[in-house]
Amino acid sequence: MGRYILFTQYYYWLMPDEPHRSRLQETIQNFSRVYRGPCFVPHITLGSGVNIPPSPSLSSLFIDCTSVESQDSPFRALYYRCAAAPELLALRSFFSDEEPYIPHISLLYGEHSTARKRDWCQNTPLYTQSISCSTIWIVQGGDNIEKWHPVAIYTLSPKIEPLK
């Protein structure tokens, strides 16, 4: 009898806090509805793996979007590229060391024409507010994106600002 290796895929997501999560979710829902893509929650992927790692002892952080971009990847059809701040890279290194790393918040998944993606990049307004992020979701994946669900949620320590 053949030997089969079964594994579960987990994704490690940095989650925007409110009100950013709701605003970004609305954008994702609009694109998903108009272009018939799957709907998903806004997140910044930190990595993936086959286990649930321990919670990191790190501080919450703020993320800035730097541009609207697309790639020839179903999971990066349209996205906000995020600044690769040292705090974000330190958090990511806890979950993955794969390179290259392009921090981003996807707005649409799927296969789309180059012309359509170019038009989206030119006409989608940049999210200009600094996005606070204080939770990490460990999400169980699978073939159906709309059935992905968190199996653990980690809360990052509040960021302590120095007195001025």
pLDDT digits (tens, 9 = 90+) for 109-148: 999 899 999 999 999 999 999 999 999 999 998 778 888 8
Does 56 map to a domain?
yes
Q: How many domains does the chain have?
A: 1
CA atoms within 13 A on the CB side of 100: 4
Q: What is the CATH number of the domain that holds 60?
A: 3.90.1140.10
pTM value surpassing 0.85: yes
Does 86 map to a domain?
yes
pLDDT digits (tens, 9 = 90+) for 59-107: 899 999 999 999 988 888 999 999 999 999 999 999 998 889 999 999 9
> What is the residue range of 27's domain?
10-155
Name the amino acid, one letter, at 137: W
Nearest to 50 by CA among 87, 88, 11, 81: 11
